[in-house]
Structure 1
Amino acid sequence: MCDEHTAHDNELYLTDAAVSRRRFAAIAGAAGLVAMLPRPANAQAISGRDVTITTPDGTCDAYFVAPAKGRHPAVLVWPDIMGLRPAFRQMADRLAQSGYAVLTVNQFYRSVKAPFLKAGESFDQPEVRARIMPWRASLTQDATRRDASAFITWLDKQKQVDSKRGLASTGYCMGGPMVMLTAADHPGRVRAGASFHGGGLATDKPDSPHLLVPKMKAGFLFAVAENDDQRNPKEKELVREAFAAAKLPAEIEVYIGTMHGWCPPDSRVYNAAQADRAWDRMLALFKTQL
């Protein structure tokens, strides 16, 4: 599972070349910094703000950003186990610059406000893991479903959101299954989903997310970390079979040279080249599905 990875998973892939963006990202992640993300071509001017959203379980803190003008397709972002933080704000800004109204949530709101990590802290550190895991326990599938409904309802009320167009959802690590739950519960709204190094997408349990695929109407991208696939190669095949049976488009790829957690720019194992390639595949999916 994505929230059970070990310190070994956070080893750095460093090249022998002069300081590259990939090397800088690894160094920045280790220092608790955020590597710079490339600016989209023809980037739109954006406006972002902190927001609070009422849910059946309380009040969620979140970050909403959208192009400064017009109405746009909405994207609901579920962060990884280290939560809403500067790296995810930067990714939200980047996506908004490409023409989307983006809501990135703190799904740990029942327990703690974001950000809850200090500079240099990471989930691979035992003391950090011990602090986060009790919060993680409250994020049941039912809780995620309630949250997704509240977040989509909130998004569709925003003047920057074109609710006549499909909505997308993306998730990182533990956020991958959350995307699948969101798509299954809201097939009339969610037309695209993207999971980046998601964990627990297909299990042998009766509530496995891949069993929800027949309820979906969304096309998907699954960007799989190489070491995740080495541990559990069957998972991607079960997901592939589920989407094929439902006759839904799904791009499922193992990104060579990547380790679990490789997409956020503050990760200790950030792989800039592969993260950018996965990002481009996400934008291509959104263009087709939304």
Structure 2
Amino acid sequence: MCHSDDSRPPGPPNPGDVAEHGPIELTAADGNRCNAYRAKPATPNGRNVVLLPDVRGLHPFYEDLAVRFAEAGFDTVAFDYFGRSAGTGPRGEGFDWQQHWPKVTPDQVHTDASAAAGALGDGPTYTVGFCFGGSQSWRLAASDLDLAGAIGFYGKPKLVADVVESIRVPLLLLVAGADQATPQADFAAFDQRLTDLGKPHELHVYDGAPHSFFDRAHGEWRDACADAWRRILDFTTG
């Protein structure tokens, strides 16, 4: 995990740098109750982040990452996908996400992301997603959410294909060069389609990096993590 100071290597977050952080519960428009984690910055930069986790849901990594974003000045909420089928509860290493993840739909993600965004303060809001959440972050760029941009790590372009023409905010695509889940040709085709449609976007491929390099393999990919963190900060500065 990369530190909010882009000159420092990955390491544990420093909760002393945030005003407040901890678990909350969101209630979406359809009545779904879901786990979330809120981190408020001690020194706000006026921008917000909605974090979309990978298939594990609100794994502790994303709670720590919410704190990281708050350290950098972002009012941040990370939310879980599985309230409808698993209820609220911890999503640690023992959580059986495999039985719940196939039940999650893009419409449900949109509804829950809207609740997360509604819990944040005023100012531009960005989505940041990982793996499944990366795809969903890019999809939300075509939604009615009031976003300033959508960031995704890894992701699957095929999960965004049906909404590409409706994308209305800039995208940042951070791609693992050795991703075993998605062929590089898929990202190249996605990049070309976005270009052909005139959709503002940035794509960066980290050569040799594996899928989930930013979260599960960050210890081996410090330079890639640091570069991705800098790109996120640049992208959200506008």
TM, length-normalised to structure 1: 0.70
> C-alpha displacement at 1:44, in angstroms?
5.4
2:109 corresponds, among 115, 122, 144, to 144
**Partner residue in 2 for 1:53:** 26
Unpaired runs of 5+ residues, structure 2, are 3-9
Deviations 1:45-75 (A, max 9, x none): 4321211111115211100112135572211
- More displaced 10-residue stretch of structure 1: 170-179 or 251-260: 251-260
- Matched letter for residue 141 of structure 1: P
2:49–2:128 CA contact under 8 A, matched in 1: yes
Measured against aligned partners, the alpha-carbon deviations of 1:129-151 in whole angstroms (never above 9, x if no partner) come to xx322200111122222222322
Match of 1:166 among 121, 124, 136: 124
Q: Which amino acid aligns with 1:171?
A: G
The answer on 1:251 being equivalent to 2:183 is no
Worse-matched range after superposition: 224-233 or 48-57:
224-233
- Where does the alignment leave 5 or more consecutive residues of structure 1 unmatched? 1-20, 23-34, 122-127, 156-160
Equivalent in the alignment of 1:14: none
Given that residues 259 and 269 in structure 1 are in contact (C-alpha distance below 8 angstroms), is that contact kept between their aligned partners in structure 2?
Answer: no
Deviations 1:189-212 (A, max 9, x none): 1111111122x22x2xxxx41342
Q: Which residue of 2 aligns with 1:196?
A: 153
Separation (CA, whole Å) in 2 of partners of 1:54 and 1:283: 29
Could you say if the C-alpha distance between residues 269 and 115 of structure 1 is closer, same or farther in structure 2, counting changes exceeding 3 Å?
Answer: farther
* 1:242 positional shift: 2.8
Count of residue pairs the alignment pairs up: 228
Change (3 A) 1:231 1:138: closer
Distance 2:49 2:181 in 1: 30
Indicate conservation of the 8 Å contact 2:180/2:210, yes or no.
no
Matched, 1:225 2:199: no
Greater mean alpha carbon deviation, residues 267-276 or residues 169-178: 267-276
Work out whether residues 78 and 175 of structure 1, in 8 Å CA contact, stay in contact via their aligned partners in 2.
Answer: yes
Q: Give distance in 1, aligned partners of 2:220 and 2:174.
A: 14
Structure 1 residue 236 displacement after superposition: 0.9
Bigger radius of gyration, 1 or 2?
1
1:167-186 to 2 correspondences below 5 Å: 167-186=125-144
Range with bigger deviation, 218-227 or 108-117: 108-117
Q: 1:213 to 1:272 in 2, by over 3 A?
A: same
CA contact (8 A) 1:74 1:168 kept: yes
Which of 100, 106, 109 is residue 135 of structure 1 equivalent to? 100
Bigger relative contact order (CA 8 A; separation at least 6): 1
| Aligned counterpart, 1:6 | none
Q: 1:10 maps to what in 2? A: none
Distance change (3 Å), C-alpha of 1:243 and 1:90: same
The Cα of 1:282 is off from its aligned counterpart by 0.8
Change (3 A) 1:284 1:135: same
Q: Distance in 2 between matches of 1:154 and 1:143?
A: 17
With normalisation by structure 2, the TM-score equals 0.83
- RMSD over aligned Cα atoms: 2.8
